[in-house]
Amino acid sequence: MAKVIFVCREGADEPRVSASPETVKRFIGLGFSVVVEAGAGDASGLPDRDYQAAGATIGTAADADGADIILRVNRPDPAEFSSYRSGAIVFAVMDPYGSEAALAAMAKAGLTTFAMELMPRITRAQSMDVLSSQANLAGYRAVIDASHEYGRAFPMMMTAAGTVPAAKVFVMGAGVAGLQAIATARRLGAVVSATDVRPAAKEQVASLGAKFIAVEDDEFKAAETAAGYAKPMSEAYQAKQAALVAEHIAKQDIVITTALIPGRPAPRLVTRAMLASMRPGSVAVDLAVERGGNIEGSEKGKITTIEGVCVIGYANVAGRIAASASALYARNLYAFLETMVDKSTKDFALNLEDELVKATMLTHGGSVVHPTFAAAAASGDTIEKPVVTETTAVDPIAGDAAVDREEL
């Protein structure tokens, strides 16, 4: 029966933390004891004393070797997990695609590992959906970052000296991140429009007071599967949609792109030619820069000027609002672990037949067990990341670009 949870301090590039004083208190209520690595919550505004007040013990990295469960934001590197005891259970965002060697190493170390980003999009797991909780905040922060770099006001202002026109904001992708970006830009007083290749997105965009931009022909109206995913579009439709989007971007002050697929290359949505058509001083935000970018020329972790447009390519955008991101991520983890605890006996046990466990467990019993990665890890091969084109849709639930379910 696992009883000791260890909360790791992340690296210098990660301000988020995997537990909050709130979830620590709730874990203790389930019968766990919790050890928090000193300083783990500092970058999220959560000092050690808050964890102590919730009942946790403050420890060091060396205390991980005595833990039954280890909570992290990001996958541990070999230097870190080499100190974990065999049989320990690790929960984190594992970024498994292209990381087959790391998965094999964790399996060899005897670790049972769970990739939180592989949580299935079902009703039961909504409170555990890390991608949605973090994408929501990323969409909000993208607008805040754009407003900071934009040299003009967002709302229309009527003054004695004249009228300041409202900023025009175009959001590409109406998933969780996109919808939150739309809502935030509207609250700031901008004139907002958005696009998506799914017909259902039109109603979602309109409900937030934004204008929907798409070639709404018969092909578009039939461009969604029963599961809510995009169907491949014809070349003729793609050409018409690209022309419409290019014409629209030329009139915008701010463009925010949100098409990001975990483990896959980001689709190219905005070209240099499109940026060149915008007036100098305009802003573009690329929320997919960590996967190659939706905007041509965007650079990870940097703000660059391309064709006179300020292109924001911040990495880990959710981490730029770390206090809120940590609070939500901690609740995602708690909601998942809570399903593994017997409420009457407070015993912790893994049910290998549970659909959530099957979907997220990467390694167990010395092997890579997830069907997507097991064969590649055993052979040392790398799983190919499918090429995604501009026709890729944005999943209305995930907030990430999505392809038809059969391709996942």
Cα gap 408→404, rounded to integer Å = 7
Cα gap 14→326, rounded to integer Å = 11
Look up 152 and say whether it is catalytic.
Answer: no
Cα gap 247→53, rounded to integer Å = 57
Q: Are 317 and 138 in contact (CB under 8 A)?
A: yes
Q: CA 107, 13, 400, 137: dihedral to nearest 10 degrees? A: 130
Q: Which helix (H) or strand (E) holds 171?
A: strand 168-172
Catalytic residue among 85, 121, 152, 320: 121
Look up 126 and say whether it is catalytic.
Answer: yes
Q: Which helix (H) or strand (E) holds 27?
A: helix 21-29
For the chain, give the longest Cα–Cα distance: 73
Catalytic residue among 33, 52, 83, 126: 126
* Closest alpha carbon to 152 in 139, 169, 140: 169
Catalytic residue among 9, 20, 44, 129: 129
Half-sphere exposure of 386 (CA within 13 A, CB side): 13
Tally of CB atoms within 10 A around 115: 26
Catalytic residue among 229, 237, 329, 334: 229
Look up 204 and say whether it is catalytic.
Answer: no
Query: In sequence order, what E strands does 213-369 have?
Result: 254-257, 283-286, 302-306, 309-313, 361-364, 367-368
Chain centroid to CA 373: 21
Angle at the Cα of 383 (from 377 to 389), degrees rounded to 5?
165
Look up 198 and say whether it is catalytic.
Answer: no
Cα gap 357→119, rounded to integer Å = 9
**Pure H helices in 36-160:** 48-53, 78-81, 100-108, 130-149
Look up 187 and say whether it is catalytic.
Answer: no
Q: Are 37 and 60 in contact (CB under 8 A)?
A: yes
Cα gap 89→358, rounded to integer Å = 15
* 3-class secondary-structure state, position 322: helix
Cα gap 154→172, rounded to integer Å = 19
Q: Are 127 and 148 in contact (CB under 8 A)?
A: no
Catalytic residue among 132, 252, 298, 324: 132
Active site residues per annotation:
121, 126, 129, 132, 229
